[in-house]
Structure 1
Amino acid sequence: MLDPRTEDYLVEGTDFWVVKPSISLAGITGLEALVKGNYIAMRPGDAGNPALRDFVARAKAPPLDLSAPGLHLVLFSDTRGSLEVGSPILFKQVKVGTVQSFQLSRDDKQVAFGVHIEPEHAHLVNSSTRFWNASGITLKGGLSGVEVKSESLQTLLAGGIAFETPNPNASRGNKRVERFSLYSSQEVALQKGVELTIRVPSGDGLSPGTAIRYKGLEVGKVERIELTDDLQAVILYARITQATQQIARAGTQFWVVKPEVSLTRAANLETLVTGQYLEVQPSNQKGAAQKSFTAAAAPPKANAREQGLRLVLSAMRRGSIKPGVVVSYREVPVGKVTDFELGPTSDRVLIHILIEPRYAPLVRSGSRFWNASGIGVDAGLFSGVKVRTESLEALLEGGIAFASPDNPQMGGPAQPGQTFALYDEVKDEWLRWAPKIALEK
């Protein structure tokens, strides 16, 4: 039985629900029902709606009417998580509102949360505001220790939503109920930077979270990894957060840094513990903006800026020669291999070398170069067996040696870009050459 004065409110849109005492981690509701007993609460509808006499009580209290003071928002999330009606909305760990309702979105692909911000805190929300699910805890582990993070004890137990407004002076929406995305974490909600894609031959050793570094500093991370449509490569979806303008442009190079262990060389051993990462070399010229890259198979040739005498050696085969292999004179390293390629007619291999400036005078037009890799064996009936190798390093990793003849056969100084033949074997005569050549200071 209702008071006759309420008859005008028994219309379509009027809500009834049973109030029961409820104690949960999100709070205490219906406390007065502990004393008075359960009762039926009512929220009148619009007096202009058609009158009704039959109603179905709601299972719980309806969300606040949009006409109620304060700010009403809708947040969309991929999952509900542990959020409940009554879960707090926090700003700097201060409760400024509550979750009023949740339901599936119209396309059933997301969860829509109805949120109310109290009137005195409504000014904290504008178009730059980012909301995230602050429920539970976040664990981060590494060599430096384990970090445990939670927004508050209440959100740890009962769930909650936190938000931040990076630009307090940003404009405010003009819709009656503004819509926002509800991100899975603070890191995702507030992430900045530029998104890039990097194509690599294989994802071996790479995963979401893999660091992108420049000069030892982290400038971004890999966020997602997918196979290409033709299944021939892997695409890394990355976000660059520092030096974005210099990195996200044409000319920038990426490559994967992984451990290298051999009998004579050990490099990047820290990746055995920390995992592989991507190194980036930003473009040194102002190029067009670019957001899609293909990772290089090896670091870019730093020798492009190195000084010295650059020469080309022509050989029938490459053998074990590769960039970084030592070029020696009398078993003293004086240069290195910088690159190799097929000749214009593909019948020769052209090996590019760099001789250090101080040792450049050693190379003359009459110099002879030979492949010093591996072991040479000379056997004779009377002389026995003679084993010859340039050095242990050349034996294991390959190498190139050269000698210059005595006057007058040595000729003039070699010219930059000059081509020499690379012989497969050394002649004993070359090993006896010992010209006196002054080195640069």
Structure 2
Amino acid sequence: MGDAKRRKQLGLMPTVHPFEADMDTSGNVTLNRGPQEAALQVMIVDALRQTQPTGPLWDSAYRTSYVMAGRPERLLETAEDVQAIPVPPHRRFVGELALGTAVPEDANTYTHIPLEGGVLHLRQQTHSADGVRWESFPANTDPRRALNFLMQHPASGGLGKVVSTFRIEQAQGEDGQQGRVTIDPEPPEEWLEVLEEIASEWHGQTPEEWADLHAEQVDEDEPTAPVLKRSLFELREPALLLSPIGTPFAQVGGLELHIDPAGSGYSPDGEEWITYDPDAAPLGDSLPPELSQFLDVETVTVTVFADGRVEWAEDDVPADQADRIRADLVQATGAGHPERWADWTENLLLELFADEYPDLNEVETLPVPTAVRLDIPVDALTDADPLAQAFIESELTFDGETWHDLYAEELPAELSAVRPLN
């Protein structure tokens, strides 16, 4: 009996199920041929749905392949040039579901998709504009030549607009279990589990991976594993053309997930935070001494609106000081005067964020908050000195509903959206 036959009888050989499947731009999969067993059909369909780009992500992927194949006849200089490339709505995958095997070490995860108990091997991918005539891009293109084709176009290399930013903190796991993941702000329910899984993959899914990944990032042989890790996840609209310079770590809900190294770090003891990026600003929840002293002072919160309204909780401000305080704050902020308010809030935003995000200085017109909350020491309410010398801005809102904590020093999404790099 041959060795291969013996291994098959012993259950040591992988079981292979050839398949052919079509997918549309929305991610709907039709299995044209494949295994008879329903559970195996579901494995194939689910794997394709979960790993293949759809919607705008498919647009970007196709146009990138089109450009890397050298198809454009002129330079693509603008977004309109890229968007003029028609994207076929039909895709066809030919391959096999191999059970009882693992992804080969030299294989890539684009053609070999790891599954529980096996691998989905994509041997061929074609596309079609009409579902009748099918074609594909060359499979054996010289990577350097393909990259040169891509990077010669001025429209390549950019990142998509930031849609959401999440600060992820994860505790070190114990007894082989993954550590608890905390996400701020709370994501939509449909993203929660996915973001938790990505966080664990990024930080390390086992204690060994957790320690090894940390050692790689701090470039030490045997560092002490941290008790906490922190990462900044940015969800961006798909770039018009994908680039190896800005490759997303994952895809979530039709968006690209990028990890900002400037927001990544670790804590050896749960209190001190250390950044992984030596060029980034320090991490941590510790506050400057002057702000710490301010927080030890009893304060009241006053909300100043762009339209000139000034509000506070009942009995927070002495009645005999109300008119003076209201007039003082309107004078200091420009509330009720659109141009003066815009100037004051722009200076505030740049003072808070331009050091860490200097490209904000290049934005011609920053978004204008509709209201700002001020913390004012109680003693200053009856002091004759101008309140501008006493208050500190604590929160602001651009829409009257979502408030951004300025003590946290995290860039609001409204400002991320107008950064020149987006």
TM-score of the superposed pair, with normalisation by structure 2: 0.25
TM-score of the superposed pair, with normalisation by structure 1: 0.24
Which structure features the higher share of helix residues? 2
Q: Which has the larger radius of gyration?
A: 1
- Which protein, 1 or 2, shows the higher relative CO under an 8 Å CA cutoff with sep ≥ 6? 2
Which structure features the higher share of strand residues? 1
